[in-house]
Structure 1
Amino acid sequence: MYYSRKRLMIDLPEEMTTIWSCTNEKCNGWMRDNFVFLIQPICGQCNSFMEKSEKMLPILANTSPNQTKH
């Protein structure tokens, strides 16, 4: 049997999403706001502070019951 690894090209719906971006110029880390558990998150890659911004991303719902920010 032949199994192809080619993925189907499906257009996923996108929306402007609030994200946190790393403030370190050498780091390109970012995370979605609805996946952050702290009021002021710290970059997981370089431990620098992060700032809010927006990015066009595919729609993704966070269904975690632990959604409160400390």
Structure 2
Amino acid sequence: MQVTVNGTPTDFPSPTPTVATLLDQLGMTGKPVVVELNQRALFPRELASTPVAEGDVLELVQITAGG
């Protein structure tokens, strides 16, 4: 399955049923991440129940702290 992540077409093994699964495959599980799916911001509680489909567009921003 191909989705666009931060402007880059990216292939994932099918099926990738949810946004949470996709984040796990990207190694972002447990990290503070802001997710937008098809121009709609998602709440963290929605990640495990929001499906990902072929052609979806995701914008991911990882929050980091530093000084």
Is the radius of gyration larger for structure 1 or structure 2?
A: 1
What TM-score do you get using the length of structure 2 for normalisation? 0.26
Query: Larger RCO: Structure 1 or Structure 2 (Cα < 8 Å, ≥ 6 residues apart)?
Result: 2
TM-score normalised to the size of structure 1? 0.25
